[in-house]
Structure 1
Amino acid sequence: MDQEKLAELILNRRTRKPASFHAGVPSDTITQIINTARHAPNHHRTEPARFYLLNRDKIIQVAQLMAETIKGDGQDPILVERALRKEKEWSNAPGLLLVTSFSDSNSVLFSKNQNLIEENYATTCCIIQNLLLLFEASKISAKWSTASVWKHPQFKKTTGLKNPEDEKFVGFIFYGYSEHKPAIRALSPLQNQLVDYSGED
């Protein structure tokens, strides 16, 4: 892929809400995409990303946890209504991938490197961007969500985390096929974020 095609892919990638997904994606396709996406910058070669492809039961259970997180004590009718909408949207999602970042707290590297958790998290975020671009290239719609459902006391058990004390939640990736085509989002001028000292002596 040349630079122009890659730039087009990056610019065209947009978040699409699960409510617009009308069909699921075969697990084999998702597995192949994950395997490719794992190739990302990774200090110390820790390979921190962990992936959980959730089945229908777990998707529904996670949706219920999200609803409970939103509605809180159930005293606010606005939050209760929002929780019901979110539970319905998530429950109907055709596919859901949970991504976490694993840092082995019993390793020698962990004891010597106080930045390991942050470095592993950064690698996993790069992998998620790879996932999203590969989804886009495969005409698969996706949404990366960092919703606070991970704070629910039943989250780790419900999702079946293998190393719950050493895995940091990075995001849910909702995926499916969709006909929805959101507009390309305009960003603020580059000079608002770029400090260019390259021309100075």
Structure 2
Amino acid sequence: MLISCIKNRRSIFQFQPKSVPKIALEQCLDAAIWAPNHGLTEPWRFYVIGSEMQWKLANIYAQKRAEKRASPGTENFQSVYDHAVKKFMAIPQVVFVGQLLNTNLVIAKEDYAACACAIQNFQLVAWELELGVQWSTGPILTASETANLLGIDFTQVELIAALYVGYPKAIPGSTRKEFQSVTQYYD
């Protein structure tokens, strides 16, 4: 049942060292494009990362993480960098999500919401296929090096998510407030 899938889906941070079947990934992408989007703008763009590109992106990811946590040239910097490369390369499948930019602020906001819905569709179908997803943000998405590698013009497309996909090592628990505590009714 859909409600069960919605309630049981979790963000997954550690994956089994097992590749994601292409057919499963394509089912997730197909579900994503059916998200609601005002005026059928279809503002999403998906960038499926292969192993060679993942190595290149791992260096950008590691550089940005190390710069945030340590001084360049130090032993700690190298340690953080090495750990970050290992962490990024342990992700079985990486998919970047971009949003087409629009100068109309109302349309831009609607398009971001549509992209978020597309990502949720992606995650729910992944969960149904026993795959976990982490929706990540961070400096790798805004790095000019990332744009250059992927051939993205940041004046046309903004990267809004890195989806890390794979078979979960473990599924964490989660709780939510009861909907009544965050809902108001009006006559």
Q: Output the TM-score relative to the length of structure 2.
A: 0.87
- 1:155 paired residue number: 146
Change (3 A) 1:86 1:188: farther
Amino acid at match of 1:47: E
Q: Is 2:157 the partner of 1:173?
A: no
Larger of the two Rg values belongs to structure? 1
Structure 2 matches for 1:8-19, cutoff 5 A? 8-17=4-13, 19=14
* Segment of structure 1 superposing worse, 67-76 or 173-182: 67-76
Within 2, Cα distance between the matches of 1:175 and 1:102?
23
From the superposition, tell whether residues 68 and 189 of structure 1 become closer, same or farther in structure 2 (CA, over 3 Å). same
The one-letter code matched in structure 1 to 2:124 is L
Q: What is the CA-CA distance between 1:192 and the residue it aligns to? A: 4.7
Counterpart-to-counterpart distance in 2, 1:10 and 1:78: 41
Q: Is the 8 A contact 1:25 1:177 kept in 2?
A: yes
Which digits, 9 at most, give the CA deviation of each residue in 1:170-197, with x for residues without a partner?
Answer: 10111112341212x1123545532x13
1:32 deviates by 2.5
Deviation at 1:78, TM superposition (A): 5.2
| Aligned mates of 1:36, 1:91 — CA distance in 2 | 26
The equivalent position to 1:125 in structure 2, one of 108, 116, 122, is 116
What is the rounded CA distance, in whole Å, between the counterparts of 2:43 and 2:154 in structure 1? 14
- Percent identity of equivalent pairs: 23
1:81 matched to 2:79? The reply is: yes
Amino acid corresponding to residue 38 of structure 2 in structure 1: H
- Deviation string 1:11-68 (CA, Å, 9 cap, x unpaired) is 1111111x43221112232123211221111111110110011111111111110111
String of CA shifts for 1:74-123, please: whole Å, max 9, x gaps: 267656533432221111222111111113x5xxxx5xx33222211110
* Residue 63 of structure 1: aligned partner: 58
* 1:186 aligned partner, one-letter code: T
Separation in 2 of the partners of 1:11 and 1:159?
34
Q: 2:132 aligns with which of 112, 116, 141?
A: 141
TM-score (norm 1): 0.81
**Which of the residues 76, 92, 95 maps onto 1:94?**
92
RMSD: 2.1
Letter in 2 for 1:135: A
2:159 is the alignment partner of 1:193: no
5+ residue gaps, structure 1: none
CA distance in 1, matches of 2:85, 2:163: 16
Gaps of 5+ in 2: none
Alignment partner, residue 38 of structure 1: 33
Instruction: Give the secondary structure class of the aligned counterpart of 2:120.
Output: helix
What number of residue pairs does the alignment pair up?
Answer: 184
